[in-house]
Amino acid sequence: MTVAVFAFGPWGWPVANPFELYAFLFVNQFALLIGYVGAVRGRLPSPFRLPIVVHQLVWLSVSITLVILIPATIHQTGGDINVARALTDPGRAYGATRAAAAVAATTRAVYIPIILSPLVWPLLPLTVVFWSRFSVLLRSFAVVGILGGAFIFLLIGTNKGLVDIMILMPWLLVIRSKDPSRLLEAKRVFLFFLSLVLALAVFLPYFAINIAGRGNGKSSTENMNLGGGTFIRPTPFQVLGLDGPVAQVYGLGYTALAAYVGQGYYGLSLAMQEPFVWTYGVGHSRILTWIAEKALGEQYAIEDTTYPARVGRDFGWDSKIKWSTLYAWIAGDVTLLGVPVVVFLFGRLLGLTWLDALGRNPVAPVLFCLTCITVYYTSANSQVFQSPDTVFVFYFYLLWWIQSRSSRSRQYR
């Protein structure tokens, strides 16, 4: 869908290498499909054994979440907390809180949430999947913790935290269902897609106000700066010839969303014109690149040799405010020809964790959600691997999931 929006949406991206770009995208989409199908076809969930009961893990997650909730809110907003502004002008809230956070004093305490992230991140997936097993008290605290985390994203005017909940919730509800096949009944499928349409109808105006209020050039609704003084403008938004304030708001949201989900493919087309420079296996992640440079010495300048960084330098497509897809970040580690292999492995991981989540392995829903987010944000960047907390959580649960399913005996909890 994002490729279709890029190719046929309101923005006329001046791609210089369309055949190579779309062939590359097709190969990677096919690799993802083959990886997933090969993982789930004819398989059952794997046996597992864990040294912890799921409600104990959720209690631990809830406790830590609530303890660090206020400090995390102050840190993320820079102390500039304004609920009314966040609700009425999220774009201004984003600019104000980012500016406040940039000048706020930092201490080593900021590393505590990163260290604790493997215990905090499971709260949403485990609460939804194992909801029926928990006491009313645990459910109540879990809901408060989840809403508190989402409220932080609302305060800083960022869509991502709220969108992540929206895109993960349907899959978690399927995993939670005692009979997932019933969800494919015609009536339920119709209601599901109707809910998606209603959610989009509510989300688009909010998204339009948010992006338009930022004015940072990432997804301008009036024009897109391609670098080097080159700009493109979107085609007018028209639905059944309607015009007016409502149509303009939805047109603004549609144009912004099209730029948001599609611009990465233009960055990828630029990256495909760059020569390969190896990034030592850490180029897919900003935080791992930073750690590697600290360990090896900044003379290696790994961050400057990633595909997105070189595209910013050579074409003016700034990697800090614009996107070049997940593929461009991976390519620095494995070459463009090696990207489909990694995507195949992601498809396989998506399928295996899905099966094991259905089999009630508590580790699997967490890793499935992280993999799912990685796939959803393919058109943008290597989303999970950019933030220190999520990259730590991903590798932590990847190793734990591999270890948990190595046992030959099944132990449901």
Measuring CA to CA, which residue among 370, 361, 284, 275 is closest to residue 325? 284
Radius of gyration (Cα) for the chain, nearest Å? Answer: 22
Residue 223 inside a domain? The answer is yes
Residue 413 inside a domain? The answer is no
Per-residue confidence (pLDDT) for residue 130, from 0 to 100:
95
Check: CB of residue 156 under 8 Å from CB of residue 76: yes
Name the 3-class secondary structure at 232: strand
Per-residue confidence (pLDDT) for residue 168, from 0 to 100:
93
Q: Which letter, b or e, does each residue of 184-221 get, where b requires 16 or more Cβ atoms within 10 Å of its Cβ?
A: eeeeeeeeeeeeeeeeeeebbeebbbbbbbbeeebbbb
Residue 411 inside a domain? The answer is no
Structural domains in the chain (count) = 1
At a CB cut-off of 8 Å and minimum separation 6, what does 79 contact? 100, 104
Give the pLDDT of the chain (413 residues) as one tens digit per residue: 999 999 998 999 999 999 999 999 999 999 999 999 999 999 889 888 888 889 999 999 999 999 988 888 888 888 888 888 887 777 788 888 888 887 776 666 667 878 889 999 999 999 999 999 999 999 999 999 999 988 888 888 777 788 888 889 989 999 998 887 787 788 888 988 898 888 888 888 877 777 666 654 444 567 888 887 788 888 876 555 556 777 777 888 888 888 889 999 999 999 999 999 999 999 999 999 988 888 887 677 888 999 999 999 999 999 888 999 999 999 999 999 999 999 999 999 999 999 999 999 999 999 999 999 999 999 999 999 988 889 999 999 999 999 998 754 444 34
Residue 121 inside a domain? The answer is yes
Residue for token pair 């932590």: 396
Residue for token pair 């070459």: 335
Per-residue confidence (pLDDT) for residue 321, from 0 to 100:
87
The model's pTM: 0.88
Per-residue confidence (pLDDT) for residue 103, from 0 to 100:
77
CA distance 359 to 130: 12
Residue 43 inside a domain? The answer is yes
Residue for token pair 């595909």: 307
Name the 3-class secondary structure at 218: coil
Residue 171 inside a domain? The answer is yes
What 334-339 contacts at long range (C-beta under 8 Å, 24+ apart), as own/partner pairs, is 335/276, 336/24, 336/272, 336/276, 339/24, 339/28
Q: Please report, as a single letter, which amino acid is at residue 313.
A: R
Residue 325 inside a domain? The answer is yes
Two structure tokens written together for 268: 């990828």
Residue 369 belongs to domain spanning: 2-404
CA distance 87 to 157: 8
Residue 364 inside a domain? The answer is yes
